[in-house]
Amino acid sequence: MRSVVSMKATLNAARGVSNQKFLLLFGPSGVGKSAIIRELRQLDSRFAYISPFMTRALRSGETDKVSVSNTVLDELNNQEKILAINELYGVRYATPREPIEKAFVENCFPLLDWPVQKVQIMLTAFPGKTFKVYVEPPDVVAIERHLEDGRDPGRSRYTAALNELEAYYQGGYDNVVDWSIVNSEFEVRKTAEKIYEMYLTVIGERQ
């Protein structure tokens, strides 16, 4: 993987080409994807987080999502302005198409956390334009601890996380993950920096 990335980077750098990619972060609930996204956006203002629409009210201090009614969401979907709709724990989440396309036009880097099980949606919509990173926890205890913040009263998120990790470690997603990294606790900044360095290598801005 690294040798191919390095070769592409060398060719792109020689031609002055920046090969934008849609950065997709995979990983189970509680692994710290949201924190990594915040760090990436601080590292480079070109990262454009694609705020999802959702059918629940915003929580206190929540600014990275857009709350809409089911009716509005259905209307947007009928107008083909929605790329995908996922239902999770009784809430519908939708990914808008326009901000992603706008980010590419403006030479920004679209960025989103995304369920690895539904990666084909993005591969179909943006063929050859994605860089897919799987974020691993240091251990399952860390996942359990992170989900003790009231988000998982029935432990359904924890169970889903264990099932996903089992499939991942058995190689179930090897064919769709480009790169992986362990997000060690209290080292979110370092994790983000490593992802950023690899991303810049992949798009040809760094060797």
Which run of H or E residues covers position 193?
helix 188-202
Q: What is the pLDDT of residues 163-201, one digit of tens each?
A: 999 999 999 999 999 999 999 988 999 999 999 999 999
pLDDT, mean over the chain: 89
For 99, the enclosing helix (H) or strand (E) is helix 98-105
Helices (H) and strands (E) in the chain, counts: 8, 9
Strand-pairing partners, residue 134, are: 26, 180
Rg (CA), the chain: 17
CA–CA distance, 143 with 166 (Å, rounded to integer): 13
Predicted pLDDT of residue 117: 94
Per-residue pLDDT tens for 17-72?
Answer: 558 999 999 999 999 999 999 999 999 999 999 999 999 999 888 888 999 999 99
At residue 9, the pLDDT reads: 43
According to the model, what pLDDT value does residue 3 have?
A: 43
Dihedral sign from CA coordinates of 97, 99, 104, 110: negative
- Selecting from 2.40.37.10, 3.90.980.10, 3.40.109.10, 3.40.50.300, what CATH number does the domain 2-50+107-202 have? 3.40.50.300
> How many angstroms separate the CA atoms of 132 and 180, rounded?
8
Per-residue pLDDT tens over the stretch 60-118: 888 889 999 999 999 999 999 999 998 887 899 999 999 999 999 999 999 999 999 99
